[in-house]
């Protein structure tokens, strides 16, 4: 499905991003594995290449701070030099924004979270789109969050940033359509990451009650959704969201709170 296509998945050295990178690789893409540590992404790219299930898979490392325009410019110049430019960008790099209530949150922390989750998305989308214009089109998939519509406590900066991702997606989808660049976003609920392994069993059981299907999404499920939106199968879809949340968004209250 992506044979001969070049894909960048930001924040793909671990957790959700790694799962997304694996999905695109399995469909034959050349995937740039991204993180802030050059040593880490080199190791991950080599491991993915060694464990590839098909000969079509290709993984290349790329290190950059997505909130730093100089770093982003350098990264995209590297991509162009290596493969000629991008066909697909998956904006996934994420600052979880944990640690402060709104009343206690330093504004520098607010800037830090939005720097990764919103400024970083915009920067990468802008640089990717410039390459896609030259290549005659492409696809950008932003990984959002259902918290953009449904708030959590003590996560104000994160929630605000994800609301911005929704607006960013629609804004640039309109502007980039004339260049045959489609822009969409995946809206996850709970996603399994290594953080789940440290949770008490009763906490996990309580979380699952929030989800009608009774389980969190896997990184690979998020990857499959992103791959669909980036593929020719979604060729007339832009500015849209795809919920991958096990139904958490349609449930008013979990069973133990039913009225």
The model carries a pTM of 0.96
| Secondary structure letter of residue 88 according to DSSP | E
Q: 6-247 has which fold?
A: Rossmann fold (3.40.50)
Alpha-carbon gap, residue 63 to 40, rounded angstroms: 9
Picking from 147, 145, 142, the residue whose alpha carbon sits closest to that of residue 9 is 142
Residue 244: closest CA among 177, 169, 191, 170: 191
pLDDT at 53: 76
Measured from the Cβ of residue 78, the count of other Cβ atoms closer than 10 Å reads 16
Within 84-150, residue ranges assigned H as helices are 107-114, 120-135
Look up residue 157 and give its DSSP letter.
Answer: H
Largest CA distance in the chain: 60
The tokens for 227 are 């791959």
pLDDT per residue as tens, the chain (259 positions): 999 999 999 999 999 999 999 999 999 999 999 999 999 999 999 999 998 877 778 999 999 999 999 999 999 999 999 999 999 999 999 999 999 999 999 999 999 999 999 999 999 999 999 999 999 999 999 999 999 998 999 999 999 999 999 999 999 999 999 999 999 999 999 999 988 999 999 999 999 999 999 999 999 999 999 999 999 999 999 999 999 999 999 998 888 887 6
**160/255 Cα distance (integer angstroms):** 29
Instruction: Read off the tokens for 129.
Output: 């789109």
DSSP states along 181-213 = EEEEEEEESSB--GGGGGS-HHHHHHHHTTSTT
Query: 147 and 245 in contact (C-beta within 8 Å)?
Result: no
Phi, psi of 54 (to 5 degrees): -135, 160
The two tokens of residue 196 are 């789940």
* Catalytic residue (one of 27, 121, 158, 190): 158
Domain residue spans of the chain:
6-247
Q: Is 158 a catalytic residue?
A: yes
């Amino acid at each position: 499905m992506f044979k001969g296509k070049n894909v960048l998945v930001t924040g793909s050295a671990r957790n959700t991003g790694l799962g997304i990178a694996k999905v695109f690789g399995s469909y034959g893409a050349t995937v740039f594995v991204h993180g802030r540590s050059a040593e880490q992404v080199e190791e991950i790219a080599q491991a993915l290449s060694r464990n590839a299930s098909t000969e079509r898979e290709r993984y290349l490392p790329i290190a950059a701070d997505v909130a730093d325009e100089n770093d982003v410019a350098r990264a995209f110049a590297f991509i162009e030099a290596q493969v000629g430019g991008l066909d697909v960008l998956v904006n996934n790099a994420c600052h979880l924004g944990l640690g402060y209530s709104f009343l206690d949150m330093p504004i520098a922390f607010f800037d830090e979270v939005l720097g990764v989750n919103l400024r970083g998305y915009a920067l990468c989308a802008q640089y990717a789109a410039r390459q896609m214009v030259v290549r005659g089109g492409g696809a950008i998939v932003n990984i959002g969050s259902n918290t953009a519509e449904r708030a959590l406590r003590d996560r104000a900066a994160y929630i605000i940033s994800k609301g911005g991702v929704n607006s960013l997606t629609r804004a640039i989808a309109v502007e980039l359509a004339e260049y045959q660049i489609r822009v969409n976003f995946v809206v996850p609920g709970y996603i399994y990451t290594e953080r789940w392994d440290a949770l008490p069993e009763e906490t996990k059981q309580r979380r699952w009650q929030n989800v009608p299907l009774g389980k969190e999404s896997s990184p690979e499920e998020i990857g499959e959704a992103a791959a669909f939106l980036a593929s020719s199968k979604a060729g007339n879809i832009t500015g849209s969201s795809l919920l991958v949340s096990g139904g958490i968004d349609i449930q008013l209250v979990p069973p133990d709170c039913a009225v």
